[in-house]
Every structure is written in C-alpha cells, then in structure tokens.
Structure 1
Amino acid sequence: MSVTSAGAVRRLRSRLHRPAPTAHTASPSVAGGRTGGPAVPVAATARAWAELLRVPAVFTVPGDALAGAAAAGARPGRTTALAVCASVCLYEAGMALNDWADHDEDAVQRPHRPLPSGRVRPRAALAAAGTLTAAGLALAARAGRRPLAVAVPLAATVWAYDLKLKHTPAGPAAMAAARGLDLLLGAAATGRPLRPALVPAATLAGHTCAVTLTSRRETEGGSPAAPLTALAATAAVTASLLPLAHRPAADRHAVRTALALGYLATAAPPLAHAALNPSPVLVQRAVGAGIRATVCLQAALTARAGAPVAGLLTAALAPVAARLARKVSTT
C-alpha cells in the first residue's frame, strides 16, 4: 500500500470513530452570537446587564409615584401604575447612560464594570438608554398630558446630569431635582393639584442631594464632610417625618413613626461610620445604605400623607432591594 493510500485509510478511520457532538459543544456561531467568537453564557450576559442597570436600585423607584399619589390625596390606580412603569424606564435609562458617559473614567477606577470589562458594548448601553427613555415618555403619555408634562423635564434632567452636570457643582442639585420630579410624576398621574406634593418632593430631593454628595467621593474617600452633611440631613428629614408629640401612638401615626425610625436606622449608622473613617469601602456602604433608605423615606412620606397601608407596602420593597444588593452592587 502506498503512503498516500495508507494516509487516506487513517483519515477515514478517524472520521468514523470521531465522537458525535453533544449538547455542550454548541457551535461558536450559536453560543457566542458570531462566527468564531467565544461562547458567552446567557447567565453571564444577564448578570452584566443587571450590574449595568443596578437592578436592586430599581426597587427605590415605585415609591416615588406612590408617595406622590398619596400626597395628592388619591388612591393608586391605573394611571399610577403607568407612572411607576414610566419612572422605572427613565431611572434605568439614567443608569445605562451613566455608565456610557463614564466609560473612560470607569476603565481606570472601576475596570470591573460591565463596559470597561467588555461584557457590555458601549453602543448597546447607549441604545438601551435611548430606548428606555422613549418607553418612559410613551408610558407617561398613556397616563395623560399632565404626567407627560412632568416626564419630559424629568427625562431632560436625567440626560443633562449624566452627560454634563454630574461632575460639576450642579450635579447633586440635578440628581435631587430628578427625584423630586419623579414624585411629582406620581401626583400628576392622579389628575389632582400638585401643590400638596411639593413638600414631600422637596424632602425626597433633600435626601437624594445628600446621598449624591456622599457618592462623589466613593472611589477615593478621604473627607468626612460629605458623610457628616448627609448625617445631619438624615436627622432633619427624620424629625420632619415624626408626628407631633401629643399625637396618640396607638393609631395610624404609629406606622408613620415606625417608618420614619426605619429610615433613620437604615441611613444613619453607615453614614456615621463613613464620617469617622471615610475610606472608599465605608463611603460606598454609606451610599448604598442611603439608596436603600430611599424606600423607607418614600414609605414614611406615604404614611404621613394619610396612606399607612400603602406606606407599609412600599416599605416591603426595602428587604428585597437589600437582598439583591448582596448579589449586585447598587453603586
């Protein structure tokens, strides 16, 4: 037999005895999304987007509309649900846009984030921000003209903050304005006057401003000024939430008191630790606690407006956010 014939026989035997492909050997074109690319598990992609959108923080959003509806003196209804969905879309649009705008900075300070690590493409994050913004505005329009009239400046504030104002002195005020407008969006969806919701919106905005000021030093730490300021703001907000001393504690004001103290217990201790030792780790913990405390604040504002049951339902979102925050960072 010639060398050529022997080689042909060996190749034929090799093909006949080659094991059949299994379910674990999917072609790269299917598993990776492009020919020749590495296989990317669906779970890894989902986690990358969960980190990009900071999914645990989403649970701080529905309480805005619920607090707004309560302040306006209305029960939550279909338009309130539309306002909640619009708020979630606009909030998540801001998250995606935030990482897109900070791509270069994160490559140095947070290389593990989805964009600098290559797990999510920058143009995909930008497309998500645009799509979510459009969806948020469409949902607000379904709720009515007045909600849309609030949603438009809310969306503009979100984009202005992420693209221009974030690293300027106006950054915390812009973020605070976005939260305040989000509460007013819930009030506008009821069709009632917005004036009763202005004070709750200002209270929520003040808390948000304090948390944002603290977050500006979360990667380098080094200064106790911001945590101390946020701690003072937390104490002031708590005092405004507590009922008057002569009110009986056995009625609905007991719920309001419990929710106000829950807000204080969630936000204050991490801020105190960060003030005593403003290391990046402790500052980040204080920021995360401040974000989670937003739910407690919304619940207390809702109870203060005369809707204790809605306040308790809002507060139930806090442990969900805390549990998810152990898996996906909110900062």
Structure 2
Amino acid sequence: MSRTIAAARGASVPAGETGEAGAVAGPAPGDTASPPGGAVPAPSRPRFGGAGAWAELLRLPALFTVPGDALAGAAAAGARPGPRTLLAIGSSLCLYEAGMALNDWADRAEDAVERPHRPLPSGRIRPAAALTAACGLTGAGLALAAGAGRPALAVAAPLAATVWAYDLALKHTPAGPAAMAAARGLDLLLGAAATGGTTRTALPSAALLGAHTLAVTAVSRRETGGGSALAPLAALATTGALTRLVTHRRTRPPAGRRAAAAPGLPGPGPAEHPHRAAGVLATALGAAYAATAARPYFHATLNPSPPLTQRAVGGGIRATVPLQAALAARSGAAATSLLVAALAPAGRMFARRAGMRKVSIT
C-alpha cells in the first residue's frame, strides 16, 4: 500500500545518477538536446501513458509482496484457499496499486522538486490519469471484495479508507507508520474474512505482520536523510521478537473450518495441522525472515547513512514474503506457506525478465 512504506524525501538527483533505491534518474523520454548554436527548441510533447511509465508508477515488482497477506490470513482462519481467496487477493492487488498511484498524485509537487524523474513530474503520466487510476482501482478492489462476501467487504472498506487517509493526510505525520501497519494487518484479515468468514483467529497473525510493517515504515522516515540509528535499532529488535514468535508460538487453526480449495491452490488439509512438517517450515522460514531483514538493519544501526538506511528499508520490504510464509506455516498450513515463499523468487524473476530491476519498490 502506497509504496509499501513511507519514503522520506531528499535532494533532487542529477540526470544520469542513481536515486530512489536504485531508480535511474535522467531526462524524460522525448526530451531533445539543444541544437548547434545554442538555440533552445520548444519542449517536445512527452509521450503519455507508456507501459514503462505505468510500471514505474505502480511499482509492479512490489506486487509479489501482496498475495501472501490473503494466503496467510486464510491459513490463520484454518481454511483452504478457495475461489473467495482469489477474489480477496485480487481486491488486495487493486487496493495496493490504488495506493501507489494515489501516492504519486499526492506527492507530485514535492517530486517535481526532489524527484523530477518520477512519471508524473517528468510528464510521462498526467496527474489526472494517475488520480483516475487510483479511483478506478479502489472501486475494483471493493467490488472484488464484495464478490467474496459481506465479511470480506466489511474489511476491505476500512482498508481502502486507510490507504486514502495515509496518502492524503497521514503520511508525513506521526500517525503515518501506524496507518501503514494497519493497512497491512487489514489486508491479512481480508484473506481470513473472505476464506473463513471470520477474522478473530487471524488477529494474532495480523498483529505480527503489522508490527513488521510499522518497523520498516519507521526506518523509511530517514531513507534519504539518514542520521538516526534509533529506528533501525528498534526494527532490529522487532525482527528478533517476531522471529521468536513465529517459530515458537504456532497456533492451531480452528477445527471444522474448511472451504473447498480452488484447483492448484494448496491449503491446510486435515493432515496438515501444526505437526512436525509445519514446525520445521515455520522455523526455516522464520530464519529466512530474520536473515533478510536483520543484517541491513544492523548495518544501518552502525552507520545510519542514507545508502545503508535505504538498504535497510529494501531488506525490510523483501522480508515481508518470508514472514507471510512463516505465519502460514505457524498456522499449520505447510503447503500454503511454500506457495507464499515461492512468491519471492517469482518476483525477482519477473523484474529481471521485464527489465525492471531498477524500478524502486519503495
């Protein structure tokens, strides 16, 4: 939701240099050099709506961190992923991308000064088009949630409201990290409500995922300015606590709460209650989560420079997927946890094949 975390603002990036967590800044497509003699030509008309510009605006590689929310929620509800889970995933993806588009629309004035290479200030996408996309995606997300049932819509509505409130009002306030954490937690509850019809048993998993998101967002507040070791130190401590919880406090899904599985979507069947396989997976995935997040947090704690702080934020975002998988394993859904874990390499492969490795996910 909305760049996944709140990105702090820094100085503008000269053309051709690297900025915003690896995104390459430069002249907007269509710009022309001055002709001989020093005459300055009239600005060329930018190419609006190109696929690359929309991929950058919507940060497509980050989409692979989203389905794990609903799948972890379904596992926490003790239900097999089914058609309603797919609707919940579609709703989450739409609301996530709505937040991305709305984020850049809300920040277009700041980006014109500090990040002129972004799609809106560079003229590659019109602000009205970004706002229209945000509205359309929000409507689509709510419609998909409604198709998954009233419990799902009852969660999706406050989730959409949280996304819009964060982007338009809360992002630069002390309430920003809490709003971002609430959005991630609600996204997990959306999967639980759609699949199992209830959110009660998924509240612990939502709280753990929200705590991780809160820590990452707090670190991101210093992403471009650096200078504070407190936030990465707190995030490091949070990572340690969450790792212990997901590996040592597994819960049993409620008995008798089963939904028909969609073809190709595994889930926690009767033989998959938290026994040895799920316990081993939870431990392994918890270790993967800690390894992904803890090292960059530790480096940023020792040296809170902007580059190391940016790496810490990126590590925290990448750690979301193994945490989601560990939460699913913690709930006894071994097969579902493996499905979620596979999203991380799938996301990297997608970014590489699409030539989007330099598209920032923050």
Superposition TM-score, scaled by structure 2 size: 0.77
The equivalent residue for 1:330 is: 361
The equivalent residue for 2:59 is: 54
CA distance in 2, matches of 1:117, 1:259: 41
Letter of the 1:283 partner, please give it: T
CA contact (8 A) 2:79 2:196 kept: no
The equivalent residue for 1:317 is: 343
Pick aligned residue for 2:201 from 196, 205, 210: 196
| Alignment deviations for residues 111-147 of structure 1 (CA, whole Å, 9 cap, x no partner) | 2211122221111111110010000000000111110
Pick aligned residue for 1:255 from 257, 281, 295: 281
CA distance in 1, matches of 2:229, 2:107: 25
Matches within 5 A, 1:256-275: 256-275=282-301
The 3 A distance-change label for structure 1 pair 70 and 250 is closer
- 1:299 maps onto 2:330 in alignment: no
Relative contact order (alpha carbons < 8 A, sep ≥ 6): 1 or 2 greater?
2
The 3 A distance-change label for structure 1 pair 137 and 249 is closer
Count residues in correspondence. 293
The equivalent residue for 1:103 is: 108
Letter of the 1:171 partner, please give it: G
| Alignment deviations for residues 215-259 of structure 1 (CA, whole Å, 9 cap, x no partner) | 1111111111111111111111001011379xx996331111111
More helix by share: 1
**What is the CA distance between 1:41 and its match in structure 2?**
9.4
CA distance in 2, matches of 1:289, 1:49: 24
- 1:79 maps onto 2:84 in alignment: yes
CA distance in 2, matches of 1:179, 1:206: 9
Matches within 5 A, 1:1-331: 38=45, 40=47, 45-243=50-248, 251-323=277-349, 324=351, 326-331=357-362
Letter of the 2:336 partner, please give it: A
CA contact (8 A) 2:46 2:123 kept: no
CA distance in 1, matches of 2:144, 2:248: 36
**What is the CA distance between 1:320 and its match in structure 2?**
2.7
CA distance in 2, matches of 1:256, 1:170: 32
Larger radius of gyration: 1
CA contact (8 A) 1:221 1:280 kept: yes
Letter of the 2:174 partner, please give it: P
| Alignment deviations for residues 53-80 of structure 1 (CA, whole Å, 9 cap, x no partner) | 1111111100000001000000000000
CA distance in 1, matches of 2:249, 2:158: 36
CA contact (8 A) 1:146 1:191 kept: no
The 3 A distance-change label for structure 1 pair 182 and 39 is closer
Superposition TM-score, scaled by structure 1 size: 0.84
CA distance in 2, matches of 1:275, 1:108: 29
In angstroms, what is the RMSD of aligned CA positions?
Answer: 2.1
